[in-house]
């Protein structure tokens, strides 16, 4: 059998008998989870950068700047906050991406090193459920764009009363399902079809963003009127001297936006040609495009105050106000942007996660169908109204998972894994009955400091002590470092 202990990829297809002979448990893998072969490592740094551009350019990213500006920041403070958050989250992205490139394994398989083959199902599904929520939200946004286009072309024929239980009109629901169905095509055709879409869509999306900025510049009469709104924290302004009180929770929330991908980035970097490609692709594709798109959102929205007399943050509403052929071009761009983001960020990870529950019965394609079903069931048109608090809430969960993984891979294992053992129920990573309790215990310990703040934040308790409210402000950081330290201590105690 091909040597897998040094990161060399294993053969697929006809290798089934040899894998079984090597002691790999057939219940712990399917074709989609085996290490990528040399022929499957086709992603250079341009492909990975394009992947990120395709994910970055989407409506929720556009709305991040509005969240910060509505909290009192000026456009430049909002852009710098988003840039700082993405520079921070880039660190675990690259570090965990290293494992994907070195060993060719997806996120759920890498989890087995620190949680065991059975225990790994818990963080994998937790990550997957979050992605299902985002999948639904993005699908609702794309369906809304389709609804606006069709409703405009038909003179408002699709407008109607909200249906019982669902709370949206029949036209909106049908357009949502149509966009949902488009995702099924790419789920059926696999990861390589997603790479193809991202590669060709990236330059188009960048061009559309710059075109929107140019339109705002001409219509508003230059950047002066567009970027003139002061910070609410400046001297003499309503929130004078309160910048840092707003900055830290905002930074945590912005980190939470991509903290999901920081975990399952091996799902993509396992296809990278080299470590240099995965590093440069992420460095170029994530922080700068995020900051650029935040600037475009801030500038264009400020321009709408000059052009229309009110701030219009929702790009779908803005396209409606622009009218004419512009609405179709703009909304087509939004549909493409939403599709590219959703497929890469919110389909691949949960598909692998659900597949990991029963690899012999659920492959990547079936995991994708499960993701699509749960995304609909979560009523995303309601969930979208709670994005701000949700970002911090789930960062309190994802930070500890990242902390355990980083501590395991870099400090405990020194980046050395025996990949064959990751597919064995009784291997060196099996722990006790398939669960590494050091990983599970560290995950719980990492979550506990943020639990009081989380319960208050989601409205399950009336409030919490100031100390826990402060800790929750830094939820991702606290969870990452506490869980990482706890994992190293528990691993030593338990001898794992």
Q: What is the DSSP string of 293-330?
A: HHHHHHHHHHHHHHHHSS----HHHHHHHH-HHHHHHH
pLDDT by residue (tens digit) across 67-83?
788 788 888 899 999 99
- Which is higher by pLDDT, 315 or 132? 132
Domains and CATH numbers, the chain: 57-386 (1.10.4160.10)
pLDDT by residue (tens digit) across 265-280?
999 999 999 999 999 9
Residue 387's pLDDT is what? 62
pLDDT by residue (tens digit) across 35-49?
999 899 999 999 999
Residue keyed to tokens 């330059």: 203
Could you say which DSSP state residue 408 is in?
I
- Which is higher by pLDDT, 61 or 251? 251
CA separation for the pair 478, 495 (Å, rounded): 25
Residue 312's pLDDT is what? 84
Q: What is the DSSP string of 130-166?
A: HHHHHHHHHHHHHHHHHHHHHHHHTTSTT--PBPTTT
Percent of the chain with pLDDT over 90: 38
Residue 252's pLDDT is what? 83
Angle at 17 between CA 12 and CA 20, to 5 degrees: 100
SS3 at position 169: strand
Give the contacts of 492 (CB within 8 A, at least 6 positions apart): none
Whether 407 and 488 have beta carbons less than 8 Å apart is answered as yes
> 1-5, 101-105, 333-337: lowest mean pLDDT where?
1-5
pLDDT by residue (tens digit) across 360-405?
889 889 999 999 999 999 888 887 776 656 656 777 788 999 999 9
């Amino acid at each position: 059998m091909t040597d897998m202990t040094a990161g060399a990829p294993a053969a697929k297809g006809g290798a089934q008998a040899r894998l079984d002979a090597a002691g790999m448990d057939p219940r712990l893998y399917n074709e989609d989870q085996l290490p990528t072969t040399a022929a499957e490592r086709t992603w250079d740094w341009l492909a990975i950068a394009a992947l990120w551009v395709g994910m970055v350019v989407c409506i929720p990213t556009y709305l991040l700047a509005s969240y910060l500006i509505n909290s009192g920041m000026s456009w430049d403070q909002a852009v710098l906050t988003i840039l700082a958050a993405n520079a921070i989250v880039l660190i675990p992205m690259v570090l965990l991406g290293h494992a994907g490139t070195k060993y060719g394994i997806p996120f759920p398989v890498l989890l087995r090193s620190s949680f065991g083959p059975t225990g790994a199902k818990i963080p994998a599904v937790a990550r997957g459920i979050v992605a299902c929520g985002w999948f639904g939200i993005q699908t609702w946004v794309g369906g809304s764009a389709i609804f606006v286009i069709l409703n405009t072309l038909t003179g408002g024929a699709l407008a109607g009363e909200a249906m019982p239980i669902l709370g949206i009109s029949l036209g909106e629901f049908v357009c949502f399902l149509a966009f949902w169905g488009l995702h099924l095509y790419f789920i059926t055709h696999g990861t390589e079809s997603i790479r193809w879409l991202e590669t060709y869509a990236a330059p188009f999306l960048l061009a559309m963003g710059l075109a929107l900025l140019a339109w705002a510049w001409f219509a508003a009469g230059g950047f002066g009127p567009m970027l003139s709104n002061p910070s609410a924290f400046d001297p003499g302004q309503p929130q004078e001297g309160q910048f840092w009180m707003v900055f830290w929770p905002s930074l945590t929330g912005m980190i939470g936006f991509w903290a999901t991908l920081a975990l399952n980035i091996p799902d993509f970097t396992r296809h990278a040609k080299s470590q240099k490609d995965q590093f440069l692709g992420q460095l170029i594709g994530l922080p700068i495009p995020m900051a650029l798109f935040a600037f475009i959102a801030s500038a264009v929205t400020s321009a709408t105050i000059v052009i229309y007399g009110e701030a219009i943050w929702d790009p779908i509403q803005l396209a409606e106000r622009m009218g004419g052929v512009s609405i179709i071009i703009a909304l087509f761009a939004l549909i493409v942007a939403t599709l590219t983001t959703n497929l890469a960020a919110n389909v691949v990870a949960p598909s692998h996660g659900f597949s990991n529950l029963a690899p012999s019965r659920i492959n990547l394609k079936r995991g994708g169908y499960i993701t699509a079903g749960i995304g609909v069931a979560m009523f995303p048109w309601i969930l979208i109204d709670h994005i701000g608090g949700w970002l911090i809430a789930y960062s309190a969960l994802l930070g500890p998972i990242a902390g355990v993984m980083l501590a395991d891979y870099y400090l405990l294992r020194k980046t050395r894994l025996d990949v064959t053992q990751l597919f064995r129920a009784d291997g060196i990573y099996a722990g006790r009955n398939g669960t590494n309790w050091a990983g599970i215990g560290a995950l719980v310990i990492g979550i506990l400091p943020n639990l009081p703040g989380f319960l208050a934040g989601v409205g399950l308790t009336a409030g919490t002590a100031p100390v826990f409210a402060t800790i929750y402000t830094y939820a991702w950081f606290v969870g990452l470092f506490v869980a990482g330290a706890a994992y190293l201590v528990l691993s030593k105690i338990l001898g794992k």
